């Protein structure tokens, strides 16, 4: 069914490069030039937050300085892109620019980065938006990315597993402690979805990871509600250098 809809869409709207608008043939959504200009994360990365690290892997789990100083509540994490340049523009277009179609290639890239995190029967869930923000934006970009990652991996998705209890102010400009305080208890597991995560491994999806405060709050909510283990996957990772 989905395949038929996709084919119908592609007949009417032939795939164009998300970067420059040229016609493209690949499902990955970018022409060769724009692909090379997009900051995909490859090679050695921090196993907790997905930032690129220098050197080659030696088979052991490795973490960046940030994750060693402030251990994450989740098990492992990955990001598809660095939040800079073309990737930053794409994330902003998906979030504020009413370009929901970007979630499809975004989910493809995320599924590729998520390979080391995937476990059998893992449940995928997006970080929730408060309904007031959902009304303004029409869609939750993280939920669209979660659906796309679900289609790529074949894993089940629970779009409303988590809910925002109250609207939280924008976190930009806040310190790590302020972010954590603002988010404490802001995210919880939907009482009617709780049974789906009991003793299960979970893959939390968000569009961007900055300090990781939102993903930490969501992880704690899942672990408190009985999840076995939580992994996180984002489209783009903000780094200090970027």
Determine if 64 is a binding residue for Zn ion (CB under 5 A): yes
Among 6, 8, 10, 20, binds Zn ion (CB under 5 A): 20
Determine if 127 is a binding residue for Zn ion (CB under 5 A): no
Q: Which stretch binds Zn ion (CB under 5 A): 10-18, 109-117, 142-150, 212-220?
A: 10-18
Determine if 113 is a binding residue for Zn ion (CB under 5 A): no
Q: Which of 231, 222, 216, 196 is nearest to 66 (CA)?
A: 216
**Residue 139 to residue 103: CA distance in whole angstroms:** 11
Determine if 48 is a binding residue for Zn ion (CB under 5 A): yes
Among 45, 67, 79, 114, binds Zn ion (CB under 5 A): 67
CB of 20 to Zn ion, least distance (A): 3
**Residue 180 to residue 148: CA distance in whole angstroms:** 29
CB of 41 to Zn ion, least distance (A): 12
**Residue 72 to residue 68: CA distance in whole angstroms:** 9
Contact 103, 94 (CB under 8 A): yes
The number of C-alpha atoms within 13 Å of 87 and in the hemisphere containing its C-beta is 25
Of residues 44 and 178, the one with the C-beta less far from Zn ion? 44
Determine if 242 is a binding residue for Zn ion (CB under 5 A): no
Determine if 211 is a binding residue for Zn ion (CB under 5 A): no
In angstroms, the first-to-last Cα distance of the chain is 41
Determine if 31 is a binding residue for Zn ion (CB under 5 A): yes
Among 16, 34, 73, 133, binds Zn ion (CB under 5 A): 34
CA 222 from chain center: how many Å?
16
Angle 54-58-64 from CA coordinates, rounded to 5°: 40
Of residues 90 and 103, the one with the C-beta less far from Zn ion? 90
Which chain residues interact with Zn ion by CB under 5 A? Answer: 17, 19-20, 31, 34, 46, 48-49, 64, 67
């Amino acid at each position: 069914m989905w395949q038929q809809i996709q084919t119908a869409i592609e007949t009417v709207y032939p795939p164009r490069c998300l970067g420059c608008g040229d016609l493209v043939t690949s499902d990955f959504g970018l022409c060769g030039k724009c692909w090379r200009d997009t900051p995909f994360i490859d090679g050695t990365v921090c196993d907790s937050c997905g930032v690129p690290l220098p050197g080659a892997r030696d088979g052991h789990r490795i973490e960046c300085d940030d994750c060693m100083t402030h251990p994450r509540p989740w098990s492992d994490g990955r990001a598809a892109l660095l939040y800079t340049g073309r990737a930053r523009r794409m994330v902003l277009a998906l979030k504020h620019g009413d370009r929901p179609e970007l979630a499809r290639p975004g989910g493809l890239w995320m599924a590729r980065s998520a390979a080391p995190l995937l476990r059998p029967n893992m449940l995928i869930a997006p970080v929730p938006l408060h309904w007031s923000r959902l009304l303004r934006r029409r869609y939750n970009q993280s939920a669209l990315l979660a659906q796309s990652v679900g289609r790529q991996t074949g894993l089940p998705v629970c779009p409303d597993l988590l809910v925002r209890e109250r609207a939280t102010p924008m976190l930009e400009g806040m310190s790590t402690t302020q972010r954590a305080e603002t988010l404490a208890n802001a995210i919880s597991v939907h009482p009617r979805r709780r049974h789906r995560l009991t003793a299960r491994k979970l893959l939390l999806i968000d569009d961007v990871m900055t300090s990781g405060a939102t993903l930490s709050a969501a992880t704690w909510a899942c672990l408190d509600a009985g999840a076995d283990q939580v992994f996180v996957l984002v489209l783009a990772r903000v780094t200090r250098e970027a």
